[in-house]
Amino acid sequence: MKMTQEKISHFFETLHKETTVESFKTIYDEKVSFKDPFNQVEEIQSVYKIFAHMYENLENPRFVITEYIGKENVAYVKWDFIFTFKGEKNENSFEGVSRLVMNDEDKVISHTDYWDAAEHIYERMPLIGSLLRFIKRKIAKG
pLDDT tens figures, 56-108:
989 999 999 999 999 999 999 999 999 998 888 989 899 999 999 999 999 99
Mean of all residue pLDDT scores within the chain = 87
pLDDT tens figures, 96-142:
999 999 999 999 999 999 987 655 555 555 566 566 556 666 666 65
C-beta of residue 113 within 8 angstroms of C-beta of residue 97: yes
Q: Average the pLDDT over 48-59 and give the result.
A: 94
- Distance between CA atoms of residues 34 and 27, nearest Å: 13
- Distance between CA atoms of residues 110 and 138, nearest Å: 37
Tell me the pTM: 0.82
Domains, the chain:
5-115 (3.10.450.50)
